[in-house]
Amino acid sequence: MLDLKLVQKQPEILERNLKVRHSKLSIEDFQKLDGKRRALIAEVETLKSERNKASQEVALLKREGKDASARIAELGGLSDRIKALDAETEEARQAVTDWMMGVPNIPDASVPVGKDETENVEIRRWGTPPSFDFEPKPHWDLGTNLGGLDFERAVREAGSKIYQVTKREYVLMDHGLNRAIAVVSRGNARLVVWNPGEESADQVAAFGVDGWRHFVCVEPCSTPDEAGYDLKPGESHDLLMAVQSVPNDGSVHARHP
């Protein structure tokens, strides 16, 4: 998530970034949300100052033996108003945070601007792309034909950037990071393998810049049309999932841990 102070003090940077990233967010929406948050904070701080002053006056009246009931009643009204405004302020703060979570990261100045990935510019190549005497199939076709991946069900139930894996042992080859991720599953119908992708990673606060590129999540699952496991009292069912990331030296294969 971008620094809030940067957006507040230099909104033109965010406005330019939103335009470059083809975002539907509006800087005017942020300024309205943040303006409301600031106004609430200012009002709460003013009332808290009045409450402190009233508390001191009540203490003084009591020490002098005078009637403090009017100020005590006023003090109670101030406290109720402050409590209500504190809740409104938290809602306003969360609204600003939610808006900021949707803001895409600011690209480096050297990154060319394009409408989508089709306008990416090739900077350099490493190695020589292999050539074949046949037309190679993409991994999604191979995985589907071999019965190891179920894209249609994954997209239908969870959205894009999701794989459902039906095999019990498999290896994900990550050539970008020169690693292989070996996964073994026992006792569950299938696994979900997912990555948020660039368009959704900005909504995950734990990711740094381009952190999504190094991320893969593997989760055991069952689907609504599968029977699942019906256990009687005292019965148990073992579930196993082992994930291992190792250097990609061409010799990796999934095995039982």
Is 168 a residue whose pLDDT tops 80?
A: no
Is 255 a residue whose pLDDT tops 50?
A: no
- Percent of the chain beyond pLDDT 70? 71
Looking at residue 201, its pLDDT comes to: 63
Name the burial class of residue 238, with classes exposed (0-12), middle (13-18) and buried (19+) by CB atoms within 10 angstroms of its CB: exposed
**Cβ pair 149, 165 in contact under 8 A:** yes
In this structure, the number of other CB atoms found within 10 A of the CB of residue 201 comes to 21
What are the angstrom distances between the C-alpha of 176 and each of 98, 110, 138, 148, 239? 32, 21, 16, 22, 31
Mean pLDDT across the chain: 77
Q: CA 71, CA 244: separation in Å to the nearest integer?
A: 67
- Per residue in 189-241, pLDDT (tens digit) is 667 777 766 666 666 655 555 666 677 777 776 655 555 667 788 888 777 77
Confidence tier at 174 by pLDDT (50, 70, 90): low
Residues whose CB is less than 8 angstroms from the CB of residue 57 and which lie 6 or more positions away in sequence, other chains included: 68, 71
Prediction pTM value: 0.50
